[in-house]
Amino acid sequence: MSPFYIYRKTVIFSWIKLCIGLLTLLVCLAIGGITWMIISNMAFELTTSIAIGCSAFLIAVVVYYVIMGKLGYSIQMGHLAIIERAQRGEDVPPNPIQFSKNIVSERFGGNRQFYTYSRDIGLTVRQLARVIARGFSLDKDTPELGSGRWIKHIISTPARRCADECCIAYALRRNDYEITAACVDALTILIQDWSSFSKKAFRLSIMHIVFCLLVFAIIFTPGIAIFSSIGSILPWLAASILITLTVKIAFLDSYVLTKIVCDFLAISDEAKIEQKNYVKLDSWSKGYAKLRKNAEKISEKAEDDADKAESAAKKAAKKAKKEAAALPEEVAESDETPEDESMQESSGSDDSVAPEVPESPAEPADDVQVEADK
């Protein structure tokens, strides 16, 4: 499937994420408005007003993370899962929301774990990208000087922010790997192919910026004359910015995410990781080194558990073999049929009592001969 076709099939996730963002924004604005009314109508001291404002800000942050933790991360995960599924050539599931919930629970264990992995991967990608922007590369030990790298790095930000989603999509594809090990491999492949990835991100970011400016100009320009006659164009300017951001979130961000994730997955299918790059990337980013260390610990624990299970299976097999070998002897001693017992009893009675033999009558031949002589 082409990225544009996948984008059209998954654009519903962008609308859902937009609704969640607007809901969060409305709740935060409500908290801010209530706080402002309390501070303006009550004669508080300056320190008290600052404390109330800080408390309201913390409440807004908590509300944001609660809403995004319950809804946003699950929707984002489901969006990536369906993009990865469609890029493999499979059809989009009929119930994408339920599919996203199942993916989050099966692969990551929940929204909190998904947020943790997404946060760690995002921080690691930013650390590695800053190192590359300073001129370092995996092929050379000395950096290449030049200001063009930083300019390209800044312009590529809209598409480069999708790098952590690319790594998560790779982890979803390699479901035969442990999740942390799959994330480490995804980061390594990303940096190995950073030259190609950065070029695509630069082109997509240019398109993203130009399209946003075009949408803003189309929306804002017709209202200049109308609102200038009223006396102020600031309300229309704010409304134009909000409408542009709405179009950006609902359409542009979704297309950029779909395009760059599909390109990365196509590259990762044929990528081969060089072992020396693991050590080099450890020195570039503490986050990468931490992830790789955790992956090694989990792998060692899994190997120990497998060895223990194998040894337990061998012991159980030996025990079953011994029991199977001892079983015929016990059966031979105890398995006697009633016929054998009756035969043994009859033979025993023959030996103990001898049969009576009848005496034959005496022959009278001698007595007859004596009488004849007389």
Lookup: tokens for 27: 């709740």
Please answer whether residues 285 and 124 qualify as being in contact, where contact means their C-beta atoms are separated by less than 8 angstroms.
Answer: yes
Give whole-number Cα distances, 62 to 3, 32, 49, 68, in Å: 36, 14, 20, 10
Find tokens 């050379």 and name the residue: 140
pLDDT at 50: 82
In a structure prediction context, what are the per-residue pLDDT tens digits for the chain, which is 374 residues long?
788 888 888 878 878 877 877 787 788 778 878 888 887 777 777 788 888 888 888 887 788 777 766 676 777 777 888 888 888 888 777 777 777 777 777 777 766 777 788 888 889 988 888 888 888 888 776 666 666 777 887 888 888 888 888 988 898 888 888 888 888 999 999 998 888 888 888 999 999 999 999 989 998 888 777 777 766 677 788 778 877 887 887 788 888 889 999 989 988 888 888 888 888 888 888 889 888 888 888 888 877 777 888 888 888 888 888 877 776 655 555 554 454 544 444 444 444 444 444 444 444 444 444 343 43
pLDDT at 214: 93
Dihedral sign for Cα 12, 14, 18, 20, please. Answer: positive
Lookup: tokens for 214: 């075009």
pLDDT at 354: 44
Find tokens 């020396």 and name the residue: 276
Lookup: tokens for 347: 């033979």
Calpha distance 240→29 (Å, rounded): 19
Kindly list the domain boundaries of the chain, sorted by start residue. Answer: 3-295
